[in-house]
Amino acid sequence: MNHVMNHQGTPNHQGSQSHGSTHHGAPAPAPEPIYYDAFELQIAPDMLAKLDMRRSVPMRAFDPAPIPAVELDRMLKIAARSPDHGRLVPWRFIVIEGDARRVAGERFDALYAARNPGLDPSKKDIWTLYMLRAPVTVVVVSRTDPASKIPEWDQMLSAGAAGMNLIHGATALGYAAQWLLKWPGRDGEAAALVGVQPGERVAGFIHLGRQTEKPADRIRPDLATVVTRWTG
């Protein structure tokens, strides 16, 4: 016989449910009972192993093969399940793939050249080459609502969480990722060339693809230097 777990992790009688309210005061849907053998409670060794070794992979190591739409959509659906205090969805995604990569790069190059009249000729296509290195680039856009009672800092963090969820989804599907925020994402006029609207900010260009080599890992922080266990 399966046992039901309540919110504190202790057994509950089947059918016993607690009721609360959502952030906006509307009645929350009644939670469903969860059992000891529920999928959500199971340890996922493969997932843990991938997270243990996850690292950014330079785009020079990416296979140029396109990412199938069904797999990219699954990554984006996982990304959209990020924490979102107030259910504002204070972020969105701009997908750049296929021929659109060259179009975006050429527009970046034109603006960059106009901004830098003495630009070295060897750098005239720097951004086109940059955009072509990965088969897919997802621009994570932060779109905070200043009028909301949810602090803007919370909303910006939600965009960052969406970006990390995207990377975790890619990792689970066997893809590598590199999250960068170079000039095209930092400059408002450049970002507008790929659809970023006034009042929005780019959280990052997340480049995705299959990796063709395994880069050496970098030194990770010792937990003792970044973890404090507060005891009162």
User: Tens of pLDDT along 86-102?
Assistant: 999 999 999 999 999 99
Determine the average pLDDT of the residues in 43-65: 95
For residue 174, with 0-12 CB atoms within 10 Å meaning exposed, 13-18 middle and 19 or more buried, which class applies? exposed
Alpha carbons 185 and 34: distance in angstroms, whole number:
43
What average pLDDT does the segment 17-44 reach? 71
> What pLDDT score does 29 carry?
84
Q: Is the pLDDT of residue 174 over 70?
A: yes
With pLDDT > 90 as the criterion, what percentage of the chain qualifies? 83
Cβ neighbours around 199 below 10 Å, total: 10
Question: What is the percentage of the chain residues whose pLDDT exceeds 70?
Answer: 88
When mean pLDDT is compared across 4-18, 141-155, 161-175, 176-190, the lowest value belongs to 4-18
pLDDT at 27: 66
Q: Residue 41, exposed/middle/buried by CB under 10 A (0-12, 13-18, 19+)?
A: exposed
Task: Tell me the CATH number for domain 56-209.
Answer: 3.40.109.10
Whether pLDDT at 105 is above 70? yes
Return the SS3 of 34. strand
How confident is the model over 4-19, as a mean pLDDT? Answer: 43
More confident residue, 34 or 13: 34
Q: Residue 142 pLDDT more than 90?
A: yes
Lowest mean pLDDT among 5-19, 141-155, 208-222: 5-19
- pLDDT confidence of 232, banded at 50, 70, 90? very high
Contact by Cβ (8 Å): 11, 3 = yes
Q: Is the pLDDT of residue 20 over 70?
A: no
Mean pLDDT of 27-54: 90
Query: What is the Cα–Cα distance from 215 to 232, expressed in whole angstroms?
Result: 42
Q: Tell me what pLDDT residue 203 has.
A: 98
pLDDT of residue 164: 98
Domain boundaries, the chain: 1-42, 56-209
Q: Three-state SS for 4?
A: strand
Q: Looking at the predicted structure, is the pLDDT value of residue 7 above 60?
A: no
Q: What is the mean pLDDT of the chain?
A: 90
Q: What is the pLDDT of residues 207-221, one digit of tens each?
A: 999 999 999 999 999
